[in-house]
A and B are shown apart, each in its own frame.
Chain A
Amino acid sequence: MAKITFNIGGVHPDDSKIAKDRPIEVLPLPQTVWVSMAQHLGAPAKPVVAVGDKVLAGQVIAEPGGFISAFVHSPVSGTVKSIAPRKDLAGNNMTHIEIAVEGDEWVEGVDLSDTLVTAIPEDRQAILDKIKACGVVGLGGATFPTHVKLNPAPGSVAECLIINGAECEPFLTSDYRIMLEKTKEIIVGAAIMQKVLGGCRCVIAIEDNKPEAISAMRKALGELGYSNMEVLPLMKKYPQGGEKQLIDAVMHRQVGSGALPISVGAVVQNMATALAVYEAVQKNKPLVTNTLTVTGDCLPVEKQHNYLFRIGMPLSYIAEYAGGVPGDAAKIVSGGPMMGKAIANLDACTVKGSSSLLYLSEAMTKRGEQSACIRCGKCAQACPMGLEPFLLYRLYKAGNTDELEKNAVHDCIECGCCLYSCPANIPLLDYIRQAKGQVLGIIRARAAAAKAAAEAAKTNEKK
């Protein structure tokens, strides 16, 4: 039993990794894919193809719409049918590029073979350019553009690259499967990122409920002979995979409020991201595929799957292929049960960060009736950021934004531990998220005002 974990709060939901022994299968192509322009955190991408264009798989179809944005590539070969708004999984309109699938031809230079390429390019900037050109984004949930994260601001030094294999969300097994099936690719991907960051230490952190993954990683590490890299088993606790919690667990350092992990010398990258980096740099393959788990408590184990999907596949297509939506599914979630998004529209399409199609039964997911707060403090004990959700909830209801800011509501990572552990079923996180939005808005407005004032003072001085 590993003893290492993060210090504050956390909860222990049953890990329910039912689909862990189902090998990754490749999904066949549908007739049509719809590729969303919002595949990543930050500004949506801008389409660079026109209706009627022929595209190849791996061809750029949209370019970054800002500094924090990413390239989007065609996941299939075929004809662009339309560029129009389509409803995403929350039912909101987002520009999608519709492509009718014709064959499966890839752009030149993409290496689709399974041969392991271990020779890492020497030029750091060339690697970064490749990662950017291939549209790699963080696949741990936030889909933050990877090239931005791997290129810290001048002056900050990366001391430790943490490869996040915690997969602390119950049910999800896609990271586990790639750890077993693409072990060496992941390690090479990690070594590439290590190189970009200037040869810092690298820790592959895996929770101890995945002993097979830990031993497979250790074995592969020995075979590849990387010395500055180690596998670190962590005690199972949610939300270990949260960036801040993982840094606390691995490096025993805490990232200050509003600061980036690099401020304590840490860079955290997800397993799937390491694999995407490997494929981008060594194989020239843009990020158009990812692994997704079809699972849930109301799905028999033989109907559970781990799939290699292409982005733009409709979720309904995957659900049909896997055998249809089970009759007793009360909620369908994209992502884990703690932080995933409930799917309101199953016709929505997969994006780079899709990680699961999770069917939850009514007994498991329906919220209990809300009752009065009994001040048990379980939310405060569970909060991994050390916040006091009961207090934040009351302050939000009272509209007291000053006190909300003092009580660090904007530090909330929305992990859901408070609501998970509340015996009175008070929708703490629902309201705290609102409060966080309000306070962040106030902080930003204040910063903008201060900046404007400083500039005004400067111009006055010049006069």
Chain B
Amino acid sequence: MSSTIIWTIVIIAGLGLLLAVILFLVARQFRVEEDPRIDEVEKVMPGANCGGCGFAGCRAFAEAAVKAPNLDNNYCPVGGNEVMQKVAAILGYEVKEKAPQAAVVRCNGSCANRPKTNVYDGAASCRVKAALYSGDTGCPFGCLGCGDCVNACQFGAIVMNPETGLPVVDESKCTACGACAKACPKGIIEIRPKGPRGMKLYVSCVNRDKGPVAKKACAAACIGCGLCAKTCTHGAVTVIDNVAYIDPAKCKLCRECEAVCPTGAIHSVGFPKPVDKEAVKKRIADRKAKAAEAAKAAEAAAQPVKKEENNG
């Protein structure tokens, strides 16, 4: 009996040893030579494999980064500057600091603002819906509300608000990987800099219809009136195809555009207080009055000169 047990142990142990040796030899024989830095880079990556960098995953990013001559085209939006510093240290490259970014939803067509004209009864997917028709409201540009962006987000940073029917971005979780922006068939999600201390202004509408049409479909639509562009003293607002756009690089966060927008299409995020529209409007009026006075004075000053010129 005991000899049986001993033999069993011996045979199993021997078999194990033999297989281990074979495995070892095979592994040695077929080892693939790889740049060891790839592993090192991969280790410092966030490991989300989200594809936000434009590569298939963190490993693919690491391989590309090791091969690349510099890091200009390789940036991990999830890890941000911190991770990129580490990557740069491993590879001995320089890395340019990038301002932290987050997704913004450029649609304010909530159930209240944008009355429904029909009911969608197909598969719960924005892509399917967008391929079928313009959406269940009068606005053919806005959010379809099926949550493709929510499904695309790996970080739980975007959720549907059941009351408004619109997605809401949680900036503390958003890594700006851009998956939601890619998933949105209407292209209403934009990756924008988070702004100084998280403050930013953006136009929450992409409706390219003419003013009255847009306004009829949605109470909060950008009607392309251009008041914001006229008011902005920094040249940050442009109106193209009946939609205003605020250039984050030029915006100085003065909130004048927000105050003058007749439909409330311009949204502010991260400011400590809501905008005091009346105060801002008064400020603009004062400035305009001053400017007009200055212009008059300049005209008055210029007049004699002109005369002189004429005389001369």
B121 touching A434, Cβ below 8 Å: no
Is B167 part of the binding interface, using a Cβ–Cβ cutoff of 8 Å?
no
Among A344, A367, A431, A437, contact of B133 (Cβ-Cβ < 8 Å): A344
CA distance A145 to B4 in the complex (A): 86
A431 touching B123, Cβ below 8 Å: yes
Residues of chain B from 217 to 247 with CB closer than 8 A to chain A in the complex: none
Per-residue CB proximity of B243-257 to A under 8 Å, as 1/0?
000000000000000
Is B12 part of the binding interface, using a Cβ–Cβ cutoff of 8 Å?
no
Chain A's closest residue to B129 (CB) is: A430
Chain A's closest residue to B138 (CB) is: A91
CA distance A87 to B209 in the complex (A): 11
Is A427 part of the binding interface, using a Cβ–Cβ cutoff of 8 Å?
yes
Is A130 part of the binding interface, using a Cβ–Cβ cutoff of 8 Å?
no
Per-residue CB proximity of B116-149 to A under 8 Å, as 1/0?
0110011101011001111110101000000000
How far apart are B218's CB and chain A's nearest CB, in angstroms?
14
Among A87, A365, A433, contact of B131 (Cβ-Cβ < 8 Å): A433
Is A93 part of the binding interface, using a Cβ–Cβ cutoff of 8 Å?
yes
Is A90 part of the binding interface, using a Cβ–Cβ cutoff of 8 Å?
yes
A90 touching B127, Cβ below 8 Å: no
A91 touching B128, Cβ below 8 Å: no
How far apart are B183's CB and chain A's nearest CB, in angstroms?
12
Is A92 part of the binding interface, using a Cβ–Cβ cutoff of 8 Å?
yes
Chain B's closest residue to A434 (CB) is: B127
Is A366 part of the binding interface, using a Cβ–Cβ cutoff of 8 Å?
yes
CA distance A437 to B131 in the complex (A): 10
How far apart are B172's CB and chain A's nearest CB, in angstroms?
28
B135 touching A91, Cβ below 8 Å: yes
Among B118, B125, B135, B136, contact of A434 (Cβ-Cβ < 8 Å): B125
Of listed A331, A344, A345, A427, residue having the most chain B CB within 10 A: A344
> Which applies to chain B's interface (DSSP): helix, strand, loop or mixed?
loop
CA distance A271 to B135 in the complex (A): 34
Which residues of chain A have C-beta atoms less than 8 A from B117's C-beta? Answer: 344-345
Write 23 A-B pairs (CB below 8 A) sorted by A numbering: A87-B134, A90-B133, A90-B134, A91-B133, A91-B135, A91-B138, A92-B133, A92-B134, A92-B140, A93-B140, A93-B209, A331-B121, A342-B132, A344-B117, A344-B118, A344-B136, A367-B121, A427-B128, A430-B122, A430-B123, A433-B128, A434-B128, A434-B131
Chain A positions within 8 Å of B, measured between CB atoms, are 87, 90-93, 331, 342, 344-345, 365-367, 427, 430-431, 433-434, 437
Known: A344-B118, A367-B121, A431-B123. A90 touches B132 (CB 8 A): yes
Which residues of chain B have C-beta atoms less than 8 A from A345's C-beta? Answer: 117
A427 touching B133, Cβ below 8 Å: no
How far apart are B301's CB and chain A's nearest CB, in angstroms?
49
Known contacts A91-B135, A344-B133, A431-B128; 17 further A-B pairs (Cβ under 8 A): A90-B132, A91-B134, A342-B133, A344-B136, A345-B117, A366-B121, A367-B122, A427-B122, A427-B123, A427-B128, A430-B122, A430-B128, A431-B123, A433-B131, A434-B125, A434-B128, A434-B131
How far apart are A157's CB and chain B's nearest CB, in angstroms?
37
CA distance A437 to B128 in the complex (A): 11
CA distance A331 to B119 in the complex (A): 10
Closest 4 A-B residue pairs measured CB to CB?
A91-B134, A427-B123, A430-B123, A90-B133
